[in-house]
Amino acid sequence: MAMDSYPIKRISMWSGPRNVSTAFMYAFHHRGDCEVIDEPYYAYYLKHTGIEHPMREEILSVQENTAAKVTERLCKGSTEKPYLFMKNMPHHMVDVDLDFAQEFQNFFLIREPRAMIASYLQKRGDVTMKDLGLDTQYELFESLSKFGKKVPVIDSRTLLNNPRDVLTKLCFHLDIPFKESMLEWPAGALAQDGIWAEHWYANVHRSTGFGAAKNESEVLIPRHLEGLASLCDDYYDALKKIEIR
């Protein structure tokens, strides 16, 4: 049952895959005052596109796959805590009207494209823009900005280099208090993890906080993906200019 003594602040993170987005979800969970939801549109995305992903049938069997019902839950669902954190993936939002995002406190998480592509290839054999969603991410950012929304942008590398400072500034932008508990957590899974965690979340399950940033300046990707990386660079560079530092 939800508590009625305060309004729920609904916070949506919009991130591409392999961007330390799950660690971000863990940080918000360990505040103690925040309910978290892991990729609520994943089953909808799988059903709507017919794409084959690891554990596809298991995901479809346990997660709501109607976009309208998911959106209603995110916008109107109750929680016993004052904050609701949603880990959303732009590439999941195929044929979804994103106007509802205006109701949330939004922020964007980005990563250098070649590093993101290389990490994605460790889990799947190939990658396209439809898998990464940087185009949709940028379009959503522009849409929210046009409505006068001040939308924070965080680069995952900047975050890993100085998590306390970046999270403190993000919390200021979101008008919520920063908590030291966002910086550390016990190793292991969360009950709130999606069922797909066993395939994708091995690293974060071993973690106890935001790890040190790796050198991504010389990441190599297959030559046939250079065109994709260059296209991603356009969106990444535009958002990078306004990141929280």
In a domain? residue 145: yes
Polymer length in residues for the chain: 245
Strand bridging mode 83-88 / 9-15 = parallel
pLDDT (0 to 100) of residue 6: 55
State the chain's mean pLDDT as an integer: 93
pLDDT (0 to 100) of residue 125: 84
In a domain? residue 29: yes
In a domain? residue 1: no
State how many domains the chain has.
1
Rounded average pLDDT over 129-152: 91
Domain span at residue 172 reads: 9-240
In a domain? residue 158: yes
242 Rama sector, left if φ>0, alpha if ψ -120 to 50, beta otherwise: alpha
In a domain? residue 188: yes
Distance in angstroms (rounded) separating the CA atoms of residues 203 and 61: 25
The CATH number that applies at residue 23 is 3.40.50.300
- % residues pLDDT > 70 (the chain): 97
In a domain? residue 70: yes
Q: Compute φ and ψ for 108, nearest 5 degrees.
A: -120, 135
CB-count exposure of residue 219 (10 Å: 0-12, 13-18, 19+): middle
Partners of 225 in the β-ladder:
none
Orientation angle between helical segments 226-240 and 113-121, nearest 10 degrees: 130
Rg of the chain over all Cα atoms, to the nearest angstrom: 17
- % residues pLDDT > 90 (the chain): 87
In a domain? residue 75: yes
pLDDT band at 217 (very low <50, low <70, confident <90, very high): low
Partners of 85 in the β-ladder:
11, 36
In a domain? residue 3: no
Rounded average pLDDT over 124-139: 94
